[in-house]
Amino acid sequence: MRVSLLIIIGALAFPVHAQLGRRQKSFSSADTLRGSIGTERAWWDVLHYDVSVQPDLATKSIRGTTIIGFIAKDNGLRMQIDLQQPLVVDSVTADVSRFRRGSFTIEDERAHTEREGNVLWVDLPQPLKAGEASTIRITYHGVPREAKQPPWDGGWIWTYDAQGNPWMSVACQGLGASVWYPCKDTQSDEPDDGASLHITVADSLQAVGNGRLRDVTRNADGTSTWNWKVTQPINTYNLVPYIGKYVHFGEVYDGVSGQLDCDYWVLSINEAKAREHFKLVPKMLKCFEDHFGPYPFYHDSYKLVEAPHLGMEHQSAVAYGNGYRNGYLGRDLSGTGWGNKWDYIIVHESGHEWFGNSITTADIADMWVHEGFTMYSEVVFTECMSGRAAADEYAQGVRRNIANDRPVIGPYGVNEEGSGDMYYKGAAVLHMIRHITGDSIFNAMLREMNRRFFHKITTSAEVESFISAFTGRDLGKMFDQYLRTTRVPVLEWGALKGDLYTRWANCEPGFRMPVTIRLNGEERMIDITDKWSSPASNVHASATLTTDPNWYVTVRQVKPRTLRAISGHRDRTSHSTP
């Protein structure tokens, strides 16, 4: 794959799959329709997607049919279906009487539709009552949005491999799956019974999808239809086709939940390189299963698929495009050297199978739960490969990428992510919690989190509450500080008349966080609030204080006159002699 210098520079500015190009401060009604759960979305729940698509590289167009199986949670008639322009809807039919869970039998009952931008309003032929199930079938065609710089600027990808063979795929995180098929385009509703994907391509090509290959149908017109099925819930943006001149090889990984099929689909010209490079996968799976619990999608297998873009966490079919080299496009994001010991795309995107694909946030404003935890999976893998000291160095190193441009958590209900700091600062928060709680509690917390939120939709607030409860520490103010503001806490300190004084400044009111300090060469953990207190005595005026580099804070020594002003009403805590 040829990558221009401009694209490489742009790629290095952001992690691989954050489509962070949209940075508006005001939002339209269209943003609200896309990002919130309005009345026409709330009353029904998706059970299954059945997506058929046939792309045409010559015209950069597609035609397809999507069947959405759903169940009414409340009485309802009008549905909001998302399909981005300029795709054209040909017909919408509905069956309100003959849907059986997992089976689609459609009567041709035409539904009334209205188009409003990227939203298709569908009025069913008759209302549904709570508990009733049905399907709608949408046929469509057109020229979908083409990705300009995938995966950051998403859409359909039309290209050729080095031998001139067609190579096509989709990258649509943030932009949304509705860029290429009609769906309920929100992270808050995954299909309970999974999805089916039918990809029709020329006989000379192979088509890869999520889940497992059921069969290949040879058609009379020189095309073949590749039929794939996902049995477990999947986010709409994770369901994608890969089309190219592929070869397949695989292995079986003996995991904690039994045998896991690992399949690799790569361009035929890269098979030899892939067979050697992908030896990393079993080591990574073992490390992640040891720390996070079982791989979440045993029923649907694990796959790496070579893609015409850098990479993406497509569930059970991870997109790979890092050029069979270690690091991130050959670069260590931490600047420590440890990130060049392994392939960033394989490790990071596979980590998303636990954090993002199994554990999913309802609103992309909370995407730090996906990205912060997944970036921390890189720290975990570094430790598995090279030891604890290397992991600490890697965690400290990636912090240099924090921009503090905007809060990590974005605005809710408008399909808007927070800052790209969701990666680096999110991982920094987790690393501090690990050092505050200790390894045994922290590692147990990660495993319990994956057990409790297994295949669930959640929120940052729920995850934050869980972490505080599991660790037995009220970390609410710490989450507020690092996720909802851009301020870096400052540890202010000084010595006066033998007493050490400390407090947090540049922080939220009520901020409290323990920190490990080194005072005159002796290391200890002290609990500090935003109020002056004296955690140690017998401290010489010439003492020096530094913080453990695993904390994302700064330190400032205050002048004696400041301490004299507060020493008369200090909140003295327990003293110890350094």
With helix as H, strand as E and coil as C, how does 67-121 read? EEEEEECCCEEEEEEECCCCCEEEEEEEECCCCECCECCCCCEECEEEEECCEEE
For residue 270, the Cα-to-chain-centroid distance in whole angstroms is 28
Chain segment 175-201, per-residue pLDDT in tens: 999 999 999 999 999 999 999 999 999
Q: What is the pLDDT, as a whole number, of residue 238?
A: 98
What is the structure's pLDDT at 25? Answer: 67
pLDDT at residue 20 above 50?
no
Domains of the chain: 38-244 (2.60.40.1730), 490-572 (2.60.40)
User: How far is 153 from 174, CA to CA, in rounded Å?
Assistant: 9
Whether residue 547 is predicted with pLDDT greater than 70 in this model: the reply is yes
**pLDDT at 26 (0 to 100):** 87
Residue 101 has pLDDT above 80, yes or no: no
pLDDT value of residue 370: 98
Chain centroid to CA 375: how far?
10
SS3 category, 28: coil
Instruction: Read off the pLDDT of residues 386-416 as tens digits, 9 standing for 90 and up.
Output: 999 999 999 999 999 999 999 999 999 999 9
* C-beta separation of 260 from 316 below 8 A: no
pLDDT > 80? residue 303: yes
Dist CA 446 CA 373 (whole Å):
9
Q: Give me the chain's average pLDDT, please.
A: 92
State phi, psi for 12 to the nearest 5 degrees.
Answer: -70, -15
Percent of the chain with pLDDT over 90: 86
What pTM value is reported for the model? 0.92
Arithmetic mean of pLDDT, 322-327: 98
Give the CA distances from residue 267 to residues 159, 171, 322, 347, in Å, rounded to whole numbers and listed in that order.
13, 18, 13, 20
CB half-sphere exposure, 549, CA atoms < 13 A: 11
Q: Would you state the pLDDT for residue 2?
A: 33
Quick: pLDDT tens for 454-489.
999 999 999 999 999 999 999 999 999 999 999 999
Return the half-sphere exposure (C-beta side, CA atoms, 13 A cut-off) of residue 59: 9
How many whole angstroms from its chain centre is CA 204? Answer: 34
In angstroms, rounded to a whole number, what is the distance separating the alpha carbons of residues 157 and 57?
10
Tell me what pLDDT residue 97 has. 61
CA distance 149 to 155: 9
For residue 107, the model assigns a pLDDT of 55
Return the higher-pLDDT residue of 219 and 19: 219
Over the stretch 416-449, which tens digit does the pLDDT of each residue have? 999 999 999 999 999 999 999 999 999 999 999 9
Residue 306 has pLDDT above 60, yes or no: yes
Rounded to a whole number of angstroms, the CA Rg of the chain reads 26
pLDDT in tens, 61-87: 999 999 999 999 999 999 999 999 999
Whether pLDDT at 6 is above 50 = no
Q: How many CA atoms lie within 13 A of 302 on its CB side?
A: 27
CA dihedral (293, 297, 303, 304) in degrees, to 10, reads -50
**Among 29, 119, 24, CA closest to 78:** 119
CA distances from 386 to 72, 277, 335, 337, 449 (A): 51, 18, 16, 11, 25
- Number of neighbours of residue 25 by Cβ within 10 angstroms: 6
498-512 pLDDT per residue, tens: 889 999 999 999 999
In the predicted structure, residue 133 carries a pLDDT above the cut 50: yes
- Mean pLDDT for the stretch of residues 282-290: 98
Average pLDDT, stretch 35-49? 98
Q: How much is the pLDDT for 521?
A: 80
Whose CA is closest to 334, among 289, 401, 242?
401
- φ, ψ of residue 422 to 5 degrees: the values are -55, -30
- The average pLDDT across 336-352 equals 98
| Per-residue model confidence (pLDDT) at position 12 | 42
Q: What is the pLDDT of residue 13?
A: 41
Identity of the amino acid at 400: R
Asked whether the beta carbons of 43 and 127 are under 8 A apart, the reply is no
Q: pLDDT tens-digit profile of 134-185?
A: 999 999 999 999 999 999 999 999 999 999 999 999 999 999 999 999 999 9
